[in-house]
């Protein structure tokens, strides 16, 4: 029987004029991950006009298509064997069935950003992948390694080794994009390689609540360029062929393109990429406020002349905002002279910076204009650079394969393949040890152990076992 390919990776439901719309990541996989929004969100459609006279998109298309790659990934997924009796299996399951790993395939797109082989894509394109293959526009193929990921922005960075300079796309400026400006979406929808579609910028700083992560940042460029499953990680370029966004999601009733799509702006992408290359970890800057949009009702309550800015609902103790003098009830108007009128716009401006950076903030308090200088903090509350969790541990790790899981009767973990100077060596951990839990939380992939180490303070408890089945635990301090 021919395999049925499912095109939905992650689904969000939203109410649109009486019907149900679907917000989906635009990679192409076999098994869907479904997420339901409890609070419906309204969305708006944008019409695709015909290109006006004098707008030439051919040069931008020709230049950008060479630097957009086709990404094919493989990952293991658990399955069950059958008893051989389909009626028995349907009603009762197979009590003698064994879990059998099945190789699943997914595909998406990526953008070459440097001649030496760095490629940016979406995190959800390569998430859980055991193997990542890159296919260039000229059909050359490479195996890629994962440099790092940032689930909070859904961006990932890959690297291929090559002796030849690869074609690249120039970085553009997403901040200066205008509503109605023409853009091209370049990618590999439905495995149709090197596909180019055109549209206009329909909206900016759009939040659709599709990104996971602990501190998600959403400030999407909304366009009506046709984007479909397989376009995830592909390029959104302006008429000059400059990269202005990474295509990430679409809104649809069917799972295919229905009118508009969403891209992560390069103002966010470029900073994430720089951090991953330099530190192996995104250096997230925190202002230390809880915020909400200013609407007409709130503006009337606060006796504001205009409905503008972002309302500070609360400030974090010992955070950057409170140290700068910002208080609950203030309304932030701009960051470094860039106006912010939505929570997404404020998050985007702060996300451009690293811990320790100073930002100039203009706000309103009691109908009076105020100016503040805030020194941004890291996720631990300090102003320094947060070290890569794997660098701190001092080890090379890889996910436990299926055979080892079955031999040791574990559901997953990380195998220590090499130990050098670092916390694990100091604690006494040797090669061949399998980490299954960090601070009582199960870990099965690199991202999970990074998150646990990043959010730890003081002592860290590592639990697991060696390949011979001997259980062991270790405790060390991050100080």
Chain centroid offset of residue 425 CA: 32
Q: Taking a C-beta distance cutoff of 8 angstroms, is the pair 227, 197 a contact?
A: yes
Instruction: Output the CA torsion 347→352→355→360 (10° steps).
Output: -80
User: How much is the CA Rg of the chain, to the nearest whole Å?
Assistant: 24
**Residues involved in catalysis:** 124, 154, 232
The set of residues, in sequence order, having a beta carbon less than 8 Å from that of 53 and lying 6+ positions away, is none
The C-alpha torsion from 142 through 399 and 264 to 189, rounded to 10°, is 50
Contact 351, 407 (CB under 8 A): no
The H-or-E segment that residue 474 falls in is strand 471-477
Three-state DSSP at 241 gives coil
Count how many Cα atoms sit within 13 Å of the Cα of residue 359 in the half-sphere of its side chain. Answer: 30
Under the phi-then-psi rule, with left for phi > 0, alpha for psi from -120 to 50, and beta for the rest, what region is 117?
left
Is 419 strand, coil or helix?
strand
Question: Please, which contacts does 383-388 make with residues 24 or more away whose CB atoms are closer than 8 Å?
Answer: 383/355, 383/356, 384/355, 384/356, 385/279, 385/283, 385/354, 385/355, 385/356, 386/279, 386/281, 386/283, 386/284, 386/355, 386/454, 387/279, 387/281, 388/279, 388/280, 388/281, 388/450
């Amino acid at each position: 029987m021919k395999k049925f390919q499912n095109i939905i990776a992650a689904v969000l439901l939203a109410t649109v004029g009486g019907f149900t719309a679907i917000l989906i990541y635009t990679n192409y996989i076999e098994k869907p991950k479904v997420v339901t929004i409890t609070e419906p969100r309204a969305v708006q459609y944008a019409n695709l006009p015909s290109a006006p006279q004098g707008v030439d998109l051919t040069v931008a298309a020709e230049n950008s298509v060479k630097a957009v790659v086709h990404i094919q990934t493989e990952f293991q997924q658990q399955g069950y064997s059958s008893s051989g009796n389909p009626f028995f299996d349907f009603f009762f399951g197979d009590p003698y069935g064994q879990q059998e790993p099945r190789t699943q395939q997914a595909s998406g797109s990526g953008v070459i950003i440097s001649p030496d082989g760095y490629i940016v894509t979406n995190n959800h394109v390569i998430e859980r992948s055991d193997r990542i293959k890159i296919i260039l526009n000229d059909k050359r193929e490479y195996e890629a390694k994962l440099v790092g990921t940032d689930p909070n922005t859904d961006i990932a960075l890959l690297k291929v080794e090559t002796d030849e300079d690869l074609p690249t796309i120039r970085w553009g400026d997403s901040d200066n994009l205008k509503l109605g400006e023409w853009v091209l979406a370049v990618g590999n929808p439905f495995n149709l390689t090197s596909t180019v579609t055109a549209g206009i910028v329909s909206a900016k700083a759009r939040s659709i609540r599709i990104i996971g992560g602990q501190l998600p940042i959403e400030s999407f460029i909304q366009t009506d360029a046709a984007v479909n499953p397989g376009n995830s990680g592909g390029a959104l370029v302006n008429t000059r062929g400059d990269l202005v966004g990474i295509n990430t999601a679409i809104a649809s009733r069917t799972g295919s393109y229905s009118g508009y799509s969403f891209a992560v702006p390069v103002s966010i992408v470029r900073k994430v990429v720089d951090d991953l290359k330099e530190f192996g970890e995104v250096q997230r800057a925190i202002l230390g406020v809880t915020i909400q949009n200013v609407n007409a009702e709130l503006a009337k309550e606060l006796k504001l002349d205009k409905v503008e800015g972002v309302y500070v609902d609360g400030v974090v103790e010992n955070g950057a905002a409170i140290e700068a003098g910002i208080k609950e009830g203030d309304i932030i108007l701009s960051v470094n002279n860039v106006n912010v009128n939505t929570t997404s716009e404020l998050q985007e401006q702060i996300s451009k910076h690293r811990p320790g950076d100073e930002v100039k903030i203009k706000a309103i308090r009691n109908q009076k204009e105020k100016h503040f200088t805030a020194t941004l903090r890291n996720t631990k509350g300090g102003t320094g650079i947060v070290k890569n969790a794997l660098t701190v541990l001092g080890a090379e790790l890889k996910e436990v394969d299926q055979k080892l899981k079955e031999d040791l009767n574990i559901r997953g973990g990380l195998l220590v393949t090499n130990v050098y100077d670092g916390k694990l060596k100091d604690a006494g951990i040797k090669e061949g040890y399998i980490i299954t839990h960090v601070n009582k939380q199960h870990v099965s992939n690199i991202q999970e152990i990074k998150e646990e180490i990043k959010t730890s303070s003081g002592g860290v408890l590592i639990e697991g076992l060696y390949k011979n089945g001997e259980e062991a635990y270790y405790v060390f301090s991050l100080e």
